[in-house]
Amino acid sequence: EAGVAQSPRYKIIEKRQSVAFWCNPISGHATLYWYQQILGQGPKLLIQFQNNGVVDDSQLPKDRFSAERLKGVDSTLKIQPAKLEDSAVYLCASSLMVSTYEQYFGPGTRLTVT
C-alpha cells in the first residue's frame, strides 16, 4: 500500500513570497489533515477535510494560509505572503474516515523562510 505522498520535500523562500505544498493521501482515505510542526514542538493541526469539505480549520491563519481539496483526493496548502515564523515542517496525514483511529502521515515538507 502506497503511503501519503508530499511534495516538495524542501522549500526555501524569502519572506513575502508565496508557496504551495501538495499532498496525495492514501487511496480511499476520505479524511485529510494538514499539520504545522515548528522545530522542537509537536505537530499542530491546521485544517481537516472530510472528502472535499472542511471539518475543522479553526487554527488555520486564514489571512495568509489557504487549503483546498478538489475532488476529495489531492490537496494543496498555500501560504501567501510568507512570514519568517512560517518556517516549519508541513505534514499531511490521511485516515479512512473521521471516526477511524489511525492517521497516516506523509514525510512532510520542510519550509524555510528567509
Partner 1 sequence: DAKTTQPPSMDCAEGRAANLPCNHSTISGNEYVYWYRQIHSQGPQYIIHGLKNNETNEMASLIITEDRKSSTLILPHATLRDTAVYYCIRSGGAQKLVFGQGTRLTINP
Residues in contact with partner 1 by the rule CB under 8 A: 4, 31, 40-45, 48, 55-56, 91, 93, 95, 98-108
Q: Which CB atom, from 33 or from 65, has the smaller least distance to partner 1?
A: 33
User: Which CB atom, from 81 or from 96, has the smaller least distance to partner 1?
Assistant: 96
Write down the least CB distance from residue 103 to partner 1, Å: 6
**Smallest distance, partner 1 to C-beta of residue 107, A:** 6
Give me the least distance between CB of 56 and partner 1, in Å please. Answer: 7
Q: Phi/psi at 70 (nearest 5 deg)?
A: -70, 140
Q: For residues 23 and 79, which CB has a smaller minimum distance to partner 1 in the complex?
A: 23
Q: Which residues, 6+ apart, have CB-to-CB distance to 55 below 8 Å? A: 31, 48, 49, 98
- Assess contact for 9 and 79: CB atoms under 8 A: no
Please identify, using beta-carbon distances, which residue of 18 and 98 lies nearer to partner 1. 98
Nearest approach, Cβ of 94 to partner 1 (angstroms)? 11
Which residues are within 8 A (CB) of 63 and not within 5 positions of it... i.e. 6 or more apart?
none
Neighbours of 54 (CB within 10 A): 13
Q: Strands across the sheet with 75-79, in order?
A: 5-7, 19-24, 75-79, 65-68
